[in-house]
Amino acid sequence: MGDKKVLLIIPSAIVARGLESVMDNLGEFRSIGILSDISRTGGNRLRSFDADLIILDPQVLDCETRPSARAFISTLTDVPVVAMATIPLDDETLRQFDEVIGMFDDPTTIIRKLRSAMEARGEAPRAEGEELSAREKEILVCVAKGMLNKEIADLHNISIYTVITHRKNITRKTGIKTVAGLTVYALLNNLIDVNSFE
Amino acid sequence: MTKRKDSDRTVLSSKMKLADLIDMNYNLLGVLSRFDMKFGFGEETVGEVCARYGVDTPTFILICNIYTFDSFVPSKELLDSVNVMDIVKYLHKSHSFYLDFSLRSLEESIEKMLEPCDGRHKQVIWKFFKDYKDELSKHFAYEENVVFPYVKSVVEFVQDPSFSILQYEENHTNVEEKLSDLKSIVMKYLPPQCDNQLINRVLLYIYILEDDLSKHTSIEDEILVPSVNHLEDKALLESKKGEEA
């Protein structure tokens, strides 16, 4: 089946069912599930859905998160994300999505937008695998040694922003969030010498 | 399209047989034991058992609801009818349960699991667990020594106005993150000489504890904090009236 799998993150049952029926009628895209919220499910569950595309109502993000929605969502998934604009949103928020569906879009427009979101992303390089890269391992060692982001940035001559991105990816891949946990990881994987530590 | 099962809609009621309630969600076994309810209750209903043990029935059912339905948010009426001291009693019992039972079983199983590891690896993981345990114990101690006495004072209308239950809404994230990290470490990164069955058992204990703690947090955040906050507001209103009179 060539159907693209779509995950809906939409609090309104009416809107979610409506989108499902549009996809059912026109084919090509197929809903694999509806979540009414993401705060509780967390990133692990989002990834486990194995969707090709996500349609998300920005309502599920709180106001503070919305302007940085892209950064937030990219910590959860690397598939294209289309906004379902059920409420008025500022341009800055909307710009972060691969496409934006409006409440009054007709079915063919909706499908066209989903298609264009997929295509735009298709050209981008695929995300690398789940193993830590050499660079991420270097950063991880610094974190485990208790270095601050600023110190790590200076040592490797990169921006703090890059350090933060690396740290996010490390956490996403390993599932470990705390510095203490990352230290255990580094020691178990012999990235740092236990004797040099402490 | 997923169809909703009818059982999803079942509303817990005081007229249900207690045995049916437990059969519907065995996670409620922990709730029973924390209210000191003993087995052998035969065909007694939830309401009858609650009455026998002097537990406020709506409060008991509210706790069971939180345990049973993931996104259960109690209505305002429900919150108003809650017996706050029963909630506190429950939370207190839960603390003892975690410390005396959950963490102890987890600790024993981790110790056994780590036996074949080389000394340094063992030490690193052990320390991580111990730190987690200390942090969680401290968190419980704060609730026992500061929050619960305060709640009692609010219920008895002798509260200290410099403290508010909303201050207590400090986050639990750090302890939650550490347990989740422990889970990842145990599942994904242990040295190969560890026994698979023992790892399995440790993971099960972690999952059970994680679930239970998240319900525990919901009871604090969704029931205790709003009910006490409501009482605080009421007391404030009373005292204002008193001044005006």
φ, ψ (nearest 5 deg) of residue B171: -90, 155
Interface test with A, best of B110, B189, B222 (most A CBs within 10 A): B189
Distance CA B141, CA B174 (A): 16
What percent of chain B is helix, strand and coil (3-state, nearest 5)? 75, 0, 25
Per the model's pLDDT, the better-predicted residue between A4 and B197 turns out to be: B197
Which residue in chain A is spatially nearest to B192 when comparing CA positions?
A188
Distance CA B25, CA B11 (A): 13
Distance CA B194, CA B116 (A): 6
Taking only the tens place, the pLDDT of each residue in B52-88 is: 999 999 999 999 999 988 778 888 888 888 899 999 9
Counts of helices then strands in chain B (DSSP H, E): 13, 0
CA atoms within 13 A on the CB side of B107: 13
Chain A residue numbers with beta carbons less than 8 Å from the beta carbon of B121 are 187-188, 194
Residues B137-165: what's their mean pLDDT? 86
Distance CA A81, CA A194 (A): 43
B176, pLDDT greater than 70: yes
Quickly state the pLDDT bin for B2 (edges 50, 70, 90): very low
Distance CA A115, CA B178 (A): 41
Distance CA B229, CA B243 (A): 21
Distance CA B15, CA A44 (A): 39
Looking at residue B182, its pLDDT comes to 97
- Contact status, residue B45 vs residue B22, Cβ threshold 8 Å: no
CB-CB under 8 Å, B189 with A180: no
Looking at residue B3, its pLDDT comes to 45
- Contact status, residue A9 vs residue A81, Cβ threshold 8 Å: no
Q: Tokens for B239? A: 């005292």
Chain B residue numbers with beta carbons less than 8 Å from the beta carbon of A188 are 121, 124-125, 185, 189-191
φ, ψ (nearest 5 deg) of residue A102: -100, 165
Distance CA B183, CA A59 (A): 32
* A134-143, B2-11, B156-165: range with lowest mean pLDDT: B2-11
pTM of the shown model: 0.69
The residues near A89 (Cβ < 8 Å, ≥ 6 apart) are A58, A66, A83
User: How many Cβ atoms from other residues are within 10 Å of residue B193's Cβ?
Assistant: 10
DSSP string across A101-112: EETT--HHHHHH
Chain A residue numbers with beta carbons less than 8 Å from the beta carbon of B2 are 33
Nearest to A176 among B1, B120, B185 (CB): B185
CB-CB under 8 Å, A194 with B185: no
CB-CB under 8 Å, B120 with A194: yes
Distance of CA B47 to the CA centre of its chain: 22
Inform me whether the C-beta atom of residue B173 falls under 8 Å from chain A C-beta atoms: no
Distance CA B105, CA B84 (A): 30
Inform me whether the C-beta atom of residue B180 falls under 8 Å from chain A C-beta atoms: yes
Nearest to B179 by CA among B200, B196, B203, B195: B203
| Residues of chain A scoring pLDDT < 50 | 1, 124-126
Counts of helices then strands in chain A (DSSP H, E): 9, 5
Q: Is the ipTM of this complex over 0.85?
A: no
Pairing between β-strand A4-9 and β-strand A29-35 as defined by DSSP bridges: parallel
Helix (H, G, I), strand (E, B) or coil at B1: coil
The proportion of chain B whose per-residue pLDDT surpasses 90, expressed as a percent, equals: 63
List A31's β-bridge partners, or say none: A6
Across chain A, the runs of DSSP E, i.e. the strands, are 4-9, 29-35, 53-56, 81-85, 99-102
Amino acid at A88: P
Nearest to B181 among A31, A37, A181 (CB): A181
Taking only the tens place, the pLDDT of each residue in B29-53 is: 999 999 999 999 999 999 999 999 9
